[in-house]
Amino acid sequence: MLAARGLEVANALVLTYLATEYLLKEQIRHSSSSERLAASGFQRRLQRASLLVWGLANFGFFLARLFSSSGGGDHSASSFHLHLPSQVVLAFVFVSFVALAWWDIRRVKPDLTPKTFVRQICVSTLESLLILPLVSVGVAMAFLVLIGILDTVHTSTVWLNNPIYYGVLYGPFSTIYFFTKKRCVSNRGQILPL
């Protein structure tokens, strides 16, 4: 269970990182200095190697789940799963996203101070608190329409569980990560004097 939870968090982190790299590629390119551009070939190779390891870990986990015992409802002592409290999981996810954001932004902006980073995390959290309720209503409406369509054509809606789960658990953290990275990369780092 812990390996599955760790891989789930790693998947969310990798997808968030790749999405922000894609969405902010122009701003990152313009903010990088000439020395950083010279090292970008090594970084690309490192990113490809990391994605390969990530893909192999997911494939291995998929194969392990595929070939694991899928018998009936008999749960013996060997199938014991440790369930962590949701507060521990949320704290782990929060620390993971903040650590990835720190590493990612420092990779692009090496002169970023911890004080500025904390300020930008706070401002990005406030920004997302203003936006996320409206986005949540819009996404819920879209899922409601999609479920209505699937019910009309008598199709199972079970496959919607994962997107809803990932969106609810990791969506706010990904939004804060994106806003923080965008704010720091676009040189808007000194907005609030805290």
Residue 175 has pLDDT above 80, yes or no: yes
* Count of domains observed in the chain: 1
Looking at residue 38, its pLDDT comes to 46
191: in domain: no
102: in domain: yes
Looking at residue 9, its pLDDT comes to 79
78: in domain: no
- What is the separation, in whole angstroms, between the first and last Cα of the chain? 41
Averaged pLDDT, 50-79: 62
Q: From CA 169, how far away is CA 43, in angstroms rounded? A: 30
CB 75 within 8 A of CB 152: no
Alpha carbon of 19 to those of 14, 38, 164, 177: distances in Å?
8, 23, 18, 11
Predicted TM-score of the model (pTM)? 0.70
pLDDT (tens digit per residue) in 112-169: 889 989 999 999 999 999 988 888 888 888 888 988 998 999 888 888 887 887 788 8
- Domain span at residue 159 reads 2-69+84-185
Alpha carbon of 95 to those of 98, 140, 173: distances in Å?
5, 27, 10
178: in domain: yes
